Amino acid sequence: MAKDSKLILDPLTDNNPITIQVLGICSALAITAELEASIVMSISVLFVMGVGNVVISLMRNIIPSKIRIIVQLIVVATLVIIVDQVLKAYAYELSKTLGAFVGLIITNCIIMGRFEAFALGNGPWRSFLDGIGNALGYAVILIIVGFFRELLGSGTLLGIQILGDPVAKTGLYAFGYENNGFMLLSPMALIVVGIIIWIQRSRNRALIED
Amino acid sequence: MEHIELFFKSIFIDNMVFATFLGMCSYLAVSKKVTTAVGLGAAVIFVLAITVPLNWLLDQYILQPGALTWLGAEYADYDLSFLSFIMFIATIATMVQLVEIIVEKFSPSLYNSLGIFLPLIAVNCAILGGSLFMQSREIATLGLATTYGVGSGIGWFLAILAIAAIREKIRYSDVPPPLRGLGITFIITGLMAIGFMSFGGMLTGGDEAEKPKENTAQIETVKDNSTTKEIANNTKVIN
């Protein structure tokens, strides 16, 4: 039982897929200018990882190892099509914002990485936990980055004005605060993740690379 | 002219690494040495140059709404675009496998030096991203699709070459220990991305009206429009 909980808790901190394993970075950076997009992306990955890991784990004994990559790609692509169609049906505006990045979940290396490293060698229940754990680790970073970028960049969270109204100059804006539009541009996503890595590694010195 | 414009646009302005963050995983993982970076970069150019035009044909003649009209008038209102992910990834996986077989047959030394990176290209988001952006930007002809594929491949190549060169040198500098390795690479990439943003004015001569279209910029402009609309409404009310 303790081993099972480790599967979920490890990826959240010391074995985080983004900051330690260096996987799944593309989508993590591109859609984090808004917190809402980050959350939806996290939920989509959570679904694809959880279900995909179980499916691959169930099929692990019948997949010939030579064509395993294409089998894995087909499984992921099918799940991503489901996510994409659901988003288009129920959250059309959001699916426009995410654009091609929903499709890029297919090539999200976390998913392939976990299939290769875990689901091909473990049973369905443990694979499911591993998938959920890693997707949550991914979600944590996405939400932190999305939080800071939206708050500092447009002064809102989930579209709600937090720092006051920039047009009517209330709240913080009354003291001369300006939105830092630079946070919305792509380079800042990289720098924010860099800073997260910096903080994480100064807190846990065992993770430092040489 | 159109070709030249698209070519430089896909290398510098819409650079895959710096503007849309595609292929970041292999970009970070394989950029420790210049030689391996060059090998992977060349393979990416090659695969992109093949898969983007191929997927363009697929998109044009099978997947788009109404693309099946060449089969007969009764197929005109078929829309298979929901299949594009699975078709694109199948093309890419097949092409990567083919490239692997061809390279192994004709140049075993190159095959050995690329090692496991060749199959990894199949899950490089830059490759799938190339096809998906080709679809969403509605590139008009097969020739332009090829130009787009080659151009974005060269852009990716440039990015990984630059970061590999910097990482080879940075080994001798005094980086704070927690930032060593991954952290500093992220921050350098961010700074390089800021540098590449200045290419935005390259084709328009600094004309503000034609800003490069990327996701974040779009979100921003949408918001700006809504606030200006609100202001406009307010002034109307006052009037």
Question: What is residue A160's three-state secondary structure?
Answer: strand
B33: distance to nearest CA of chain A, Å? 16
Q: What is the tens place of the pLDDT at every residue in B91-131?
A: 888 888 887 788 788 878 777 766 666 666 766 788 888 88
Q: What is the pLDDT at residue A107?
A: 76
Please enumerate, as own/partner, the contacts of B145-148 that have beta carbons within 8 Å and a separation of 24 or more. Answer: B145/B52, B145/B53, B145/B56, B146/B49, B146/B52, B146/B53, B147/B3, B147/B6, B147/B7, B147/B10, B148/B6, B148/B10, B148/B52
Q: Which residues of B touch A108 (CB under 8 A)?
A: 125
B70: distance to nearest CA of chain A, Å? 26
Model-wide pTM > 0.90? no
Sign of the Cα torsion B221, A99, B200, B185 reads positive
For chain B, give the percent of residues with pLDDT over 70: 80
What is the ipTM for the molecules in this complex? 0.81
CA-closest candidate to residue A19, choices A207, A210, A153, A148: A207
User: Cα–Cα distance between B225 and B187 in angstroms, integer?
Assistant: 32
Contact B128 A107 (CB under 8 A): yes
Q: What is the tens place of the pLDDT at every residue in A84-139?
A: 888 888 888 888 877 777 877 877 778 887 887 888 888 888 888 888 888 888 88
B135: distance to nearest CA of chain A, Å? 9
- Tally A–B CB contacts below 8 A: 164
A77, A70 contact by CB (below 8 A): no
Among A7-16, A98-107, B66-75, B229-238, the minimum mean pLDDT is found in B229-238
Q: What is the pLDDT at residue A115?
A: 82
